[in-house]
Amino acid sequence: MKKITAFLLFICLTAASSTFGQHILKSSTLYEGEVFTTDYIFIRSEAKSLEKDWKTYLSKTGSVSDDKDLLTVKVNSSDISRDLDKIISYIVDHKEFSAVHVILLDDNNRSLNVNQINPEALERLLFDFYDLAYYNEELRMANTDLELAEKLHDNAEKSKSRAERALASNLKSQEKYGKKLSQSPEKLAEIIHDKNEVYQQILQRDVNATDSTETDPDDLDKEFSKQEKKIIKTRNLEEKNADRLIKAEKEFEGLTDDLIAARVELGKATQVLESKKVVIQDLKKK
């Protein structure tokens, strides 16, 4: 921050309570090359998270202008002091903590002295924002927690969908292989019938070997061999389909267990998600 270079010269510190309560601190600071008095509090939050909330909060006091990291509030009226004309404010980021500063100025751009300030009103200004910032931080963290629960729920939903698809695919496979096996005897019988017809033609060919009008012997032999190969192929395919059906039937039980487990996990994830939603609802009621 170019306009303000804070050097903390603590004038007074309120004694810490046993609960480590919040306090308003007072020190000197440089603003536009001059020394002014700043009142400030520490808040356990990042500056980026506070800046927008602080600007909105200050707008209740007067019109706010924003110059980079510096806020200037033209005060309409305030219980802090009848001499208060303007508030200069900025937030300093200290990693885990942020310091929210206010410089209280009169209409001559001079810092108000202690005797001009109503301490209770100043406390309300800063402590009410402290409570608001703490609440907003809780709400942000609760929303982050909700996002994690939503991801957990989405993953559980995807796992259930995958298990359902796997089980449906298994059932289709069983149906397909079962249907092929049921059709296999008829198909095999048809091929054997065709083979026997060719065989009968071969026998007839041998009887009438001298008849030149008979079918070419080579063609009959080729057709007979073709039917033999069909029978072998059909029987091999039948064995494969039987093996595939057995495998699908064995896998069915495991896939069913997977689906049941996925549904249980989805139920748990749904319970977690709903509880996170309730947390946010309860926070918003405060």
Give the CATH number, domain containing residue 84. 3.30.310
Q: What is the pLDDT of residues 242-285, one digit of tens each?
A: 888 788 888 888 999 999 999 999 999 999 999 999 999 998 88
| 113-151 per-position pLDDT tens digit | 999 999 999 999 999 999 999 898 899 899 999 999 999
Same-domain check for residues 184 and 253: yes
0.75 cut: is pTM over it? no
Q: Among candidates 140, 52, 156, which has minimal Cα distance to 100?
A: 52
Does 58 share its domain with 147? no
| Cα→Cα distances 69→72, 90, 247, Å | 10, 6, 69
Q: Tell me, yes or no, whether 100 and 203 share the same domain.
A: no
The domain tally of the chain equals 2
Domain annotation covers residue 38 = yes
Q: What is the pLDDT of residues 59-73, one digit of tens each?
A: 999 999 988 789 999
The residue count of the chain comes to 286
Regarding whether 262 and 192 lie in a shared domain, the answer is yes
Domain that holds residue 59: 4-16+23-117
Cβ-contact 60, 73 below 8 angstroms? no
| Adjacent-strand bridge partners of 105 | 86, 111
User: With b meaning 16 or more CB within 10 Å and e meaning fewer, what string describes 78-105?
Assistant: bebbebbbebbbbbbeeeeebbbbbbbb
